[in-house]
Amino acid sequence: MSSFQKSQIGNTELAIDALGFGCASLGNLYHAVSDEEAADILTSAWTNGFRYFDTAPHYGQGLSERRVGDALRTSSDYVLSTKVGRLLRPAGYAAERHGFVSPMPFDIEYDYSYDGVMRSFEDSLQRLGLDRIDILYMHDIGPVTHGDDNDRLFPIAMDGGYRAMDELRRNGLVSAIGLGVNEYEVCERALEHGDWDCFLLAGRYTLLEQESLDSFLPKCVDRNCSIVIGGAYNSGILATGVSGKGPWNYDYGPAPEDVVKKVAAIESLCGEFDIPMAAAALQFPLAHPAVASVIPGIGKVSRINQTLNLFATKIPHEFWSALAERGLIRDDAPTPTGKPDE
């Protein structure tokens, strides 16, 4: 069984593993996973040392939460995060929507108000069938999800929504609060409106993207606000590479030509050093002092050992130096500690 380095979340007493388990796939993201398969995946993950699990009401409209709760109910030494901001309303049908195949028969209603957050928290406890949630993220606030309507929703989220989350934290019902989003700019803006412990940032600090180094990540270091990285493979392109037949996925859609070209250059360099590009993608974010954990999505039992092997792959410091020298990552991007080959 693997054991992972732990990092403290912000100024809390909560510590999480450097490698966590993203549970979107257990909500039937892009393809169906049976209840039996989901149980096998989670059992194998636990047996292999995973102890931090991230889910959300959005993942299969409650399906992922139900499955995760079933798997964790007889255990105690886990860390669990879920999210608020979406309420689930009975729909009377379970057709594919929002990328989830055969979800639970609910529709989504965005609600970032005080009452909406409190109800979402209670609903999640009911779906999970658990007596605690450790980290509570405000899910998908920001213009990427809401467009112009974010101008209306953001003040509501930073007022009533934050007040509810802070109350849950102060009352000991959750250990940490933050945002779970695909855009760092809204996190940076949120820092001015509350005392956040952590942010789950998907796809915005990876081998392909480091713009968050400009001001957001330094602010997180200054304020001791931890980062959990989702989407380390940028929707798959950093795992599959581009040497085979496309199309290649990037940021939940087809990869643009400039991204394909950059991935090809990274993939070529990985070939020179005989290391899997996915290993470099998985390990890279953790070098930043603000980053506490990376949580790849895992939807098959076979992917568990594969992920553990990628995480354990030894990557020489010369590789990281070459990435910077060739302009494939920013010069100011911290890289994992590596020692020259002896």
Phi-psi group of 174: left, alpha or beta (phi > 0 → left; psi -120 to 50 → alpha; rest → beta): beta
Query: Hey, what are 200's tokens?
Result: 């789950």
Question: What pLDDT shows up at residue 340?
Answer: 38
Nearest CA among 209, 153, 164, 226 for reference residue 186: 153
d(CA 157, CA 141): 8
3-class SS of residue 197 = coil
Nearest CA among 207, 209, 230 for reference residue 291: 230
3-class SS of residue 225 = coil
Between the CA of residue 321 and those of 111, 206, 283, 315, 334, what are the distances in Å? 45, 16, 15, 11, 10
Q: Which residues are catalytic?
A: 54, 59, 83
Topology given in CATH for the domain delimited by 6-325: TIM Barrel (3.20.20)
Nearest CA among 266, 243, 254, 278 for reference residue 320: 266
- End-to-end CA, the chain: 29
Give 87's strand partners. 109
| Predicted TM-score of the model (pTM) | 0.96
d(CA 82, CA 178): 11
Domain boundaries, the chain: 6-325
Question: What pLDDT shows up at residue 341?
Answer: 38
3-class SS of residue 119 = helix
Helix (H) or strand (E) holding 42: helix 35-47
- CA 283, 191, 142, 127: dihedral to nearest 10 degrees? 70
Task: Classify residue 284 by its DSSP letter.
Answer: G
- Local mean pLDDT, 10-residue blocks, the chain (342 residues): 92 98 95 96 98 98 98 96 97 84 92 98 98 98 98 98 98 98 98 98 98 98 98 96 90 93 98 98 98 97 98 97 97 78 36
Q: Are 232 and 238 in contact (CB under 8 A)?
A: yes
Give 6's strand partners. 17
In 224-336 the beta strands, taken as DSSP E runs, fall at 226-230, 249-250, 253-254, 291-294
